[in-house]
């Protein structure tokens, strides 16, 4: 019989609490049920409530998520939730928890969320709730980005490569990938000036030169409005001097309006959750055909199946009509229990499709192709 590992209940509670706290997940989210379970285990073991709470407060203080301010309304909700549980377990609340409960503050339009992954974590300024309120889907993180990370880690396809990401949004995929996957060069791209502004802030926050805490506080109120406007963003590029060994660039790239001569030379294209709107299929396909044929490189696109099953299929059929091939290389279904990111989304299958010139096919085409 092997030796049973020691599992420290207070550590488990603390890591779950920190995770739920810094991802700013609402207390109705499944991860808080896990926190409650861990709390129950602590009380069952008769751990000293004061020591456990002190450890929680100390771990919150030193957690990577503390690099950015936490929404006060979220802090209120989380600590209030904790006080209700504590009361049930007959724990006396320490002042660090109780002092926050004087008054509930209004939600701000933007929040910082921290996404841990292994040894690294990424903190992003995101829109708080209404993910289309600023006229773009790009100001929050989607679960496709998470799936693309799982695929990239598993496949090691990006190691040592020059990578172009299409429709990067606020940078969940790229900011994690450049810190963990030994990529030679990573080019983020998107078309919307607001999205590129948030991306700019998130790069500074995670890869060096972060603004002060006071400035970061302000951005939760008014968002981040620099350096681009709708008029100045077109064809812009910016190289970053970052603490990672990967060369990082952000490039404005609108699939509906770009110059082929400005497309970067790369080894691989990646993207997540960019196939959701049928009206974008044509320009996106044109862009992919252009980049894939010029570079003889593959593209890997993570697609989430939402309401309409046919949307991804229609896109892949269009891609194939243009002489490219597609195949599924990775397939996941995330559940709320995974605790990941998109708390506003339910259970959806996500697949990564490889799109490439036919000569690069790795599998024989099968009859009656399955897209999802
Ligand atoms: C649903 S979001 C996904 C963002 C990110 N890839 C993720 O998974 O979190 C779609 C992204 O595509 C971008 N996008 C939409 N239309 C585009 C276009 N014509 N050219 C380039 N990017 C576009 C949006 O700005 C947005 O960032």
The residue-averaged pLDDT of 221-229 equals 93
Indicate if ligand 1 lies below 6 Å from the C-beta of 137: yes
Q: Ligand 1 centroid vs 183 CA: distance in angstroms? A: 22
pLDDT grade, residue 335 (50/70/90)?
confident
Task: Answer yes or no: do 94 and 166 share one domain.
Answer: no
Task: Answer yes or no: do 268 and 319 share one domain.
Answer: yes
Indicate if ligand 1 lies below 6 Å from the C-beta of 70: no
Q: Ligand 1 centroid vs 271 CA: distance in angstroms? A: 9
pLDDT grade, residue 132 (50/70/90)?
very low
Q: Ligand 1 centroid vs 74 CA: distance in angstroms? A: 27
Indicate if ligand 1 lies below 6 Å from the C-beta of 147: no
pTM (predicted TM-score): 0.92
Q: What does the CA dihedral 60, 63, 69, 71 come to, rounded to 10 degrees? A: -50
Protein residue closest via CA to atom 5 of ligand 1: 169
Q: Tell me, yes or no, whether 259 lies in a domain.
A: yes
The residue-averaged pLDDT of 156-173 equals 97
Q: Tell me, yes or no, whether 2 lies in a domain.
A: no
Mean pLDDT comparison of 101-105, 273-277, 297-301, highest-scoring range: 297-301
Q: Work out the mean pLDDT of the chain and round it to a whole number.
A: 89
Indicate if ligand 1 lies below 6 Å from the C-beta of 59: no
Question: Which tens digit of pLDDT belongs to each residue from 166-184?
Answer: 999 999 999 999 999 999 9
Q: Is the pLDDT of residue 164 over 70?
A: yes
Task: Answer yes or no: do 82 and 150 share one domain.
Answer: no
Q: How far is CA 121 from the centre of its chain?
A: 10
Q: Is the pLDDT of residue 343 over 70?
A: no
Task: Answer yes or no: do 137 and 278 share one domain.
Answer: yes
Q: Tell me, yes or no, whether 367 lies in a domain.
A: no
Q: Tell me, yes or no, whether 108 lies in a domain.
A: no
Please give the angle made by the CA atoms of 355, 353 and 360, to the nearest 5 degrees: 35
d(Cα 134, Cα 195) in Å, to the nearest integer? 10
Q: Tell me, yes or no, whether 324 lies in a domain.
A: yes
Indicate if ligand 1 lies below 6 Å from the C-beta of 174: no
Looking at the 3D structure of the chain, how many domains does it have? 2
| Ligand 1 binding pocket mutation candidate from 132, 190, 202 (most atoms within 8 A of CB) | 190
Task: Answer yes or no: do 47 and 136 share one domain.
Answer: no
Q: Tell me, yes or no, whether 120 lies in a domain.
A: no
Protein residue closest via CA to atom 3 of ligand 1: 273
Question: Which tens digit of pLDDT belongs to each residue from 232-266?
Answer: 999 999 999 998 899 999 999 999 999 999 999 99
At which of 83, 101, 119 does a domain end? 101
**Paired residues of 240 in beta bridges:** 248
The residue-averaged pLDDT of 176-202 equals 97
Q: Is the pLDDT of residue 342 over 70?
A: no
Give me the pLDDT at residue 56, please. Answer: 96
The residue-averaged pLDDT of 278-284 equals 96
d(Cα 337, Cα 347) in Å, to the nearest integer? 10
CATH number of the domain that residue 311 is part of: 3.40.50.150
The residue-averaged pLDDT of 143-161 equals 95
Supply the range of the domain harboring residue 14: 9-101
Q: Ligand 1 centroid vs 80 CA: distance in angstroms? A: 36
Indicate if ligand 1 lies below 6 Å from the C-beta of 74: no
At which of 101, 117, 142 does a domain end? 101
pLDDT grade, residue 210 (50/70/90)?
very high
Give me the pLDDT at residue 340, please. Answer: 56
**What atom of ligand 1 comes closest to residue 148's alpha carbon?**
8
Give me the pLDDT at residue 368, please. Answer: 59
Q: What does the CA dihedral 110, 23, 194, 197 come to, rounded to 10 degrees? A: 110
pLDDT grade, residue 144 (50/70/90)?
confident
Q: Which tops the pLDDT comparison, 190 or 350?
A: 190
The alpha helices in the chain, defined as continuous H runs, are 9-22, 30-44, 49-62, 72-88, 95-98, 143-155, 172-180, 193-207, 213-222, 281-295, 310-321
Indicate if ligand 1 lies below 6 Å from the C-beta of 115: no
Q: Which tops the pLDDT comparison, 28 or 150?
A: 150
């Amino acid at each position: 019989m092997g030796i049973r590992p020691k599992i420290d209940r207070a550590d488990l509670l603390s890591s779950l609490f920190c995770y739920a706290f810094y991802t700013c997940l609402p207390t109705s989210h499944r991860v808080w049920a896990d926190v409650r379970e861990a709390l129950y285990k602590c009380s069952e073991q008769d751990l000293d409530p004061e020591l456990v709470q002190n450890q929680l407060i100390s771990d919150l203080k030193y957690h990577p998520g503390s690099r950015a301010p936490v929404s006060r309304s979220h802090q209120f909700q989380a600590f209030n939730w904790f006080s209700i549980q504590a009361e049930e377990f007959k724990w006396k609340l320490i002042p660090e928890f109780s002092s926050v409960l004087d008054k509930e503050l209004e939600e701000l339009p933007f929040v910082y969320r921290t996404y841990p992954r292994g040894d690294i974590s990424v903190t992003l300024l995101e829109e708080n709730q209404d993910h289309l309120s600023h006229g773009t889907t790009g100001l929050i993180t989607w679960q496709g980005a998470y799936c693309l990370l799982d695929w990239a880690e598993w496949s090691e396809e990006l190691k040592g490569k020059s990578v172009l990401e299409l429709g990067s949004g606020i940078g969940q995929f790229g900011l994690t990938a450049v810190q963990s996957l030994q990529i030679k060069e990573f080019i983020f791209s998107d078309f919307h000036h607001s999205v590129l502004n948030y991306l700019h802030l998130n790069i500074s926050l995670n890869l060096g030169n972060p603004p002060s805490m006071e400035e970061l506080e302000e951005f939760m109120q008014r968002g981040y409005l620099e350096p681009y406007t709708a008029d100045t963003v077109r064809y812009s590029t910016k190289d970053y001097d970052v603490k990672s060994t990967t060369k990082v660039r952000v490039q404005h790239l609108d699939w509906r309006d770009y110059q082929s001569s400005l497309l970067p030379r790369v080894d691989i294209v990646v993207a997540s959750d960019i196939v959701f709107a049928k009206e974008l299929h044509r320009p996106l396909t044109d862009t992919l055909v252009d980049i894939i044929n010029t570079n003889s490189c593959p593209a890997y696109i993570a697609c989430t199946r939402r309401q309409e099953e046919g949307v991804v299929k229609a896109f892949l059929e269009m891609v194939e009509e243009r002489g490219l091939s597609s195949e599924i290389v990775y397939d996941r279904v995330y559940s709320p229990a995974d605790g990941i990111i998109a708390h506003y989304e339910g259970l959806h299958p996500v697949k990564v499709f490889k799109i490439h010139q036919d000569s690069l096919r790795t599998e024989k085409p099968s009859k009656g192709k399955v897209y999802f």
